[in-house]
């Protein structure tokens, strides 16, 4: 063991990291496990003891958090972002937001941009996680939290889309619906497009619903109305389960325009629990995630990551059913309990 | 006239401005009129001729625009912001957004924060303009554009709230409504709370509507429902003009819960033209501003300000009526054309 006294700068050089990382190490700030181990070994080898001054020398904080979101023009996204913002503002942080407009390349540029601003932490509201994200998050010296999609190699907060989907499918089956359309969105969106859909379809199958159809749309009213109009021309479902409340609202309109009634002719279930879904008549039966809670948890979690406090790698946000009046009970008499 | 050769640095010192401002002056970038005049005089006095090198030395651009908004959790605000973002992204800019959550002090801090980041321009979506704003905008060396409120001492883009309000009031009167409630919001919001309200009430008065009432709420569903429920207990308006579509949607619900019908018992008019207002039955008669156009104009205007191109100090966004089925024609027979 060499007994040469080594400086923070030399530790940083030997570990191949920035001096600020070494400083964070000494101040119990966020340092990736792998880097932490490297620094620990160098210190051991050199028998380094930090001076009191050095250990008080905090890594420079900017008190700024960067958020990257795919859109701000959606009910659920707006509510989540508003909640994150309120939480972090209260804690004294400046929150800056980049809206990528669903452009994945822009997400990557935005991570790099926030790194150049030396924000203290980054929250990425994702629609999809690919290899580049994994590499970037792995290499970043700034803590990154992923929200809305599951992230195997890091920390994420997710909505329980599979189980919410399953609950909706199960409810439709138990209410005696035998001819059900699931109206989904593109599968590029892993959470809504894949997990929610999977939950609905598996429940419908497991409960032996004889007729299960599936149509795909995007998140827009106009496309959705066209898809539903076309579908209703030669199909007669008793239930439509729509992947979001917005899609369900488009169904209301098309059902009304065909002279049919909700729920007497066609029942409807959505996901989201938008305030407006309560205001239509009959109000929509919908499965609601707690976006306000998700926002607070995201805020608390990024602060924990920055401080180096322990956090769960995956935190799951639950849901609840909002009854509404849009589902008809079609169970035969005697079948109902 | 002294014939001493002066450097850009010396001009900056003499004018009491940053060197980058002088550089912008020589490169036809944005420099406030007052500063421009100062620099011009110093140059004249010293007979300065910039070298080719200096005149090619562009002021350092960051290709970043900062947006400050009171909320992202409203239909109109989200649409405007999404449109600004898309326009500027296409032009190669990074757009970063701060959501002040209706906190005016935060607007001021955000302007200063964006200045410290050396963004090329700032767009402030305002709910209210006070003296501090005026001072900040006046002192800032970075171009600032105000959207949604009129700004006497600078450049702004506004919605034609007064005329839209007037058009709605006029329409209600011309359709024979004699007992009209205007449901407004707090007057801290100059555009919606003052101008829109003023337009509605002036039209109703000018057309001689005998019973005009006025109630105030905030932008939330729950408060609005409470206000309307209470009002309908001992009033029987034939028409409610609501300051936003959201308020009108809350009225639908309360009217339905009282066992009344739209428009047979009570007619409704809103402002906003949210997609969802088309989806309820009967669809809402509403006055819609072109938020997408406003976003594009805001993007184009801030770029013009940065380049130093001429811009109108006030640009007004027009509106159109979306008919809907929520207004009853109460004109007596023979009166209708």
Note down the domain range covering A114: 64-158+291-319
User: Which residue does chain B place closest to A84, by CA atoms?
Assistant: B99
Query: Per residue in B121-141, pLDDT tens?
Result: 999 998 888 778 888 888 888
The answer to whether residue A243 scores a pLDDT higher than 50 is yes
Residues from chain A that touch B85, judged by Cβ atoms under 8 A, are 99, 101
| Binary contact (A89, B101; C-beta < 8 A) | yes
pLDDT score at A28: 65
Same domain, B153 and B217: no
Same domain, B258 and B222: yes
pLDDT score at A55: 40
CATH number at residue B18: 1.10.260.40
Question: Per 3-state DSSP, what percentage of chain B is helix, strand, and coil (rounded to 5)?
Answer: 45, 20, 35
Q: How confident is the model at residue A334 (pLDDT cuts 50, 70, 90)?
A: low
> What mean pLDDT do residues A97-123 have?
92
Q: How confident is the model at residue A2 (pLDDT cuts 50, 70, 90)?
A: very low
Residue B212 forms part of a structural domain: yes
- Chosen from B67, B85, B229 to mutate, greatest number of chain A CBs within 10 A: B85
Q: What percent of chain A has pLDDT over 70?
A: 92
Residues from chain B that touch A106, judged by Cβ atoms under 8 A, are 89
User: Which residue does chain B place closest to A73, by CA atoms?
Assistant: B78
Query: Per residue in B283-328, pLDDT tens?
Result: 999 999 999 999 999 999 999 999 999 999 999 999 999 999 999 9
Residue B336 forms part of a structural domain: no
Same domain, A165 and A274: yes
Same domain, B189 and B283: yes
User: Which residue does chain B place closest to A78, by CA atoms?
Assistant: B73
Residues from chain A that touch B110, judged by Cβ atoms under 8 A, are 94
B192 vs A307: CA distance, rounded Å: 43
Please tell me the distance in Å from B103's CA to the nearest CA on chain A.
11
Please tell me the distance in Å from B4's CA to the nearest CA on chain A.
42
Please tell me the distance in Å from A332's CA to the nearest CA on chain B.
30
pLDDT score at B28: 65
Same domain, A107 and A190: no
Residue B90 forms part of a structural domain: yes
pLDDT score at A316: 95
B269, B288, B307 - which closes a domain: B288
A314 vs A153: CA distance, rounded Å: 10
Same domain, B166 and B219: yes
The answer to whether residue A15 scores a pLDDT higher than 90 is no
Residue B337 forms part of a structural domain: no
- Give B190's DSSP letter: I
User: Considering just the CA atoms, what is the radius of gyration of chain A in Å?
Assistant: 25
User: Which residue does chain A place closest to B95, by CA atoms?
Assistant: A98
Residue B324 forms part of a structural domain: no
Nearest to A252 among B72, B249, B279 (CB): B279
pLDDT score at A33: 82
CATH number at residue A299: 3.40.50.2300
- Give A281's DSSP letter: S
Residue A329 forms part of a structural domain: no
Same domain, A258 and A311: no
Least Cα distance to B42 among B85, B91, B4 occurs for B4
User: Order of strands across the sheet with A211-217?
Assistant: A211-217, A179-185, A239-242, A267-271, A285-289, A319-322
Instruction: Given the cut 0.85, state whether the ipTM is greater than it.
Output: no
| Phi, psi of B97, rounded to the nearest 5 degrees | -120, 135
Query: Per residue in A139-157, pLDDT tens?
Result: 888 999 999 988 888 899 9
Same domain, A263 and A298: no
pLDDT score at A291: 93
SS3 A124: strand
pLDDT score at A48: 57
| Phi, psi of A215, rounded to the nearest 5 degrees | -130, 155
Pairing mode of beta strands B285-289, B267-271: parallel
pLDDT score at A333: 61
pLDDT score at B15: 85
Residue B156 forms part of a structural domain: yes
- Give A308's DSSP letter: T
Q: Which residues of chain B have pLDDT under 70?
A: 1-6, 27-28, 47-59, 333-337
- Chosen from B99, B225, B247, B284 to mutate, greatest number of chain A CBs within 10 A: B99
- Upstream peptide bond of A127 is cis (omega within 30 degrees of 0): no
Q: Mean pLDDT, chain A, as a whole number?
A: 87
Number of domains in chain A: 3
| Binary contact (A279, B250; C-beta < 8 A) | yes
Same domain, B124 and B151: yes
CA distances B151 to A181, A327, B32, B130, Å, are 52, 51, 16, 10
Same domain, A269 and A296: no
Residues from chain B that touch A256, judged by Cβ atoms under 8 A, are 281
Nearest to A250 among B72, B221, B279 (CB): B279
Same domain, B166 and B155: no
Specify the higher pLDDT residue, B140 or A53: B140
pLDDT score at B59: 53
B131 vs A308: CA distance, rounded Å: 43
> What mean pLDDT do residues A33-39 have?
84
Same domain, A119 and A207: no
Query: Per residue in A169-185, pLDDT tens?
Result: 999 999 999 999 999 98
Residue B335 forms part of a structural domain: no
The answer to whether residue A53 scores a pLDDT higher than 60 is no
| Binary contact (B99, A94; C-beta < 8 A) | no
> What mean pLDDT do residues A237-261 have?
94
CA distances A13 to A19, A22, A109, Å, are 8, 10, 27
The answer to whether residue A3 scores a pLDDT higher than 60 is no
């Amino acid at each position: 063991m060499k007994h040469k006294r080594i400086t923070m700068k030399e530790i940083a050089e030997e570990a191949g990291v920035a001096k600020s990382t070494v400083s964070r190490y000494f101040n119990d700030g966020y340092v990736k496990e792998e880097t932490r181990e490297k620094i620990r070994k160098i210190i051991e080898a050199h028998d380094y003891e930090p001076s009191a001054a050095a250990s008080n020398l905090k890594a420079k904080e900017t008190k700024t958090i960067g958020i990257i979101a795919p859109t701000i023009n959606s009910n659920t996204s707006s509510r989540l972002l508003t909640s994150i913002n309120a939480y972090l503002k209260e804690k004294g942080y400046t929150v800056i937001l980049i809206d990528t407009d669903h452009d994945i390349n822009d997400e990557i540029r935005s991570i790099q941009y926030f790194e150049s601003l030396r924000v203290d932490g980054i929250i990425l509201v994702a629609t999809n996680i690919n290899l580049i994200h994994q590499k970037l998050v792995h290499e970043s010296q700034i803590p990154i939290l992923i929200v809305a999609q599951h992230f195997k190699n890091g920390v994420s907060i997710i909505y329980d889309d599979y189980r919410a989907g399953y609950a909706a499918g199960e409810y439709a089956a138990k209410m005696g619906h035998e001819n059900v359309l699931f109206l989904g969105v593109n599968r590029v969106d892993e959470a809504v497009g894949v997990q929610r859909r999977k939950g609905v379809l598996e429940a419908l199958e497991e409960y032996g619903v004889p007729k299960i159809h599936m149509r795909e749309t995007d998140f827009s009213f106009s496309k959705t109305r066209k898809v539903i109009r076309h579908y209703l021309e030669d199909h007669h479902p008793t239930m439509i389960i729509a992947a979001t409340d917005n899609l369900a609202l488009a169904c209301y309109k098309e059902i009304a325009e065909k002279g049919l009634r909700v729920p007497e002719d066609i029942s409807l279930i959505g996901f989201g629990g938008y305030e407006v879904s309560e205001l239509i008549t009959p109000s929509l039966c919908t499965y609601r995630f707690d976006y306000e809670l998700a926002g607070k948890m995201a805020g608390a979690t990024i602060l924990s990551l920055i401080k180096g406090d322990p956090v769960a790698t995956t935190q799951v946000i639950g849901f609840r059913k909002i009854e509404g009046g849009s589902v008809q009970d079609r169970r035969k008499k005697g079948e109902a309990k």
